[in-house]
A and B are shown apart, each in its own frame.
Chain A
Amino acid sequence: MSVDNYIILACVLFTLGAIGVLVRRNAIVVFMSVELMLNATNLAFVAFARMNGNLDGQVIAFFVMVVAAAEVVVGLAIIVTVYRSRRSASIDEPNLLKY
């Protein structure tokens, strides 16, 4: 199988993640969509590493996972706080700041 297919898959996953961010209302799901985008990127990194014949891409993928984990920590903290004060995890609910 050519590397191109992995790249295409990565792009599809990335797009799906982006669409998820746009269409889902639940903050957790939105956040998961973002994680999907990151993971799509990881796939791309690994595929490109293969294509370019070096290991950089694979190493980067590890770094990205760590960063994603850190992001989860921060993200969940914020989402939970908002949920506690609003009794809702909808991302459309907090809408006081506008215009």
Chain B
Amino acid sequence: MTSLPWLTVLMVIPLLGAIVLMLLPRDRDVLPKQVALGFSLLTLVLTVVMGLQFQADSTAPFQFVESYPWIPALGISYAVGVDGIGLVLVALSATLVPVVILAGWNDVAPGGRSIKGYFALILVLETLMIGVFSATDVFLFFVLFEVMLIPIYFLIGRYGGADRRYAAVKFLVYSLVGGLLMLAALIGLYVVSAQQLGQGTFDFAALVGLDVDPNTQKILFLGFFIAFAIKAPLWPFHTWLPDAAKESTPATAVLLIGVLDKVGTFGMIRYLLPIFPAASDFYAPLVVALAVIGILYGALVAFGQKDMKRLFAYSSMSHFGFIALGIFVFTSWGMTGSTLYMLAHGLSTASLFLTAGFLMMRAGGSSLISTYSGVNKVAPVLAGFFLFAALSSLALPGLASFIGEFLVLLGTFARNITVGVIAALGIVITAAYALKLYQKVATGPTSPAVEGMTDLRGREITALAPIVFLTILLGVLPAGVLNVVNPAVERTLEVVGISDPPPVIPPIVQGGEQ
């Protein structure tokens, strides 16, 4: 490995940026934004450089590993490292932050709440996001998992819409319920490790190596699972999301739903399955049922929404159903699919919320669908991006989400045909609400709120363009991601001890020399 502590550097730079921002004079309006953008871009560049050094064929479970004792008395260390799944999610975080900074350039009106505070919070969040995806000490993971709530809480509560206080508190209390349950389970795990190893530990590898009694597993699993299910969110732990999404600024919503919520599903892959294999197997039918209900229910509720942001929230819930489904069918297709879907969903969420944000900003901030009509006529570029976002959300083949969704369904189908078929129905409803939204907003005669609307400006297009580019790139050439994700998925499934079902008829080898 290289000598540079990559992951720590990635975490420190945004934090440094946040500190620099706070030291800036109060009366500067533009400077904080430029500084924030600079730091986030620097992080992105370094992430790319790090990603290029990642060795997909390495046999080590984690790369860029660092480990220092933190609280040795409790077996806690500062230990970071990424596998393929962690790497892509770190990359997703590093990509989305500069995008939302650019997109949220004017989210905070000068003279109101602190501008530098807004961008500093986003940068702090970036530090925490990168940390949470790269922690290999479960305690460190938990700490970051919880601390992440604070910047989001302030981002919603200070910079959000009319009902922001309610939404922020609801979000935080919901998350704390999960967090505390997870804490209890985490401590339980620690106690088990102390009993088995003599000295308690939070080291991921050591915990995976434990031989936890299946009954204990079942209890501890629930603690972790509910936390992740609230975070993700799965049905029926989701009702904080619509409120949080509605009251957030688009930039916050993108980070919240696009990245933070992935911690839930990431946690399922990284922690639930390897540490509690028996319990995962035991609860799989339940989780699959919740996921499938979530897929259909989320889509149906989204279909009937009158508010754009709430619609996106429910659609995300539906998509998180797919992601959880892919994880809990225990096939390499499903799990890789889920990982890809996480990426794709991050991107599609970004395009949805950001375009909707641009739209709303032009019409006084209303997120009611009925406010808008005929946008395509006055702002075709905006409408075009909006359509792209809708298509990306409905998993059009050729776009990133398609491969994820298809693999998830394939993995499900291979395990249980009925569940696969029911889940597949979701994609029809998804198309229905996505296109219904586009139809209402972009087509038809222009509504008064839309009349005279300006089209997207250069900054806004610059923010969206990389998202669009990546969405298409991942849909057409996912090889780069698959190369790094596949080994991690294989390794996880190996730990769980389940392999893919073989085909009914052994495939015929393509003969001859190729």
Asked if chains A and B are in direct contact (CB within 8 A), the reply is no
Residues of chain B whose beta carbon lies under 8 Å from any beta carbon of chain A? none
Residues of chain A whose beta carbon lies under 8 Å from any beta carbon of chain B? none
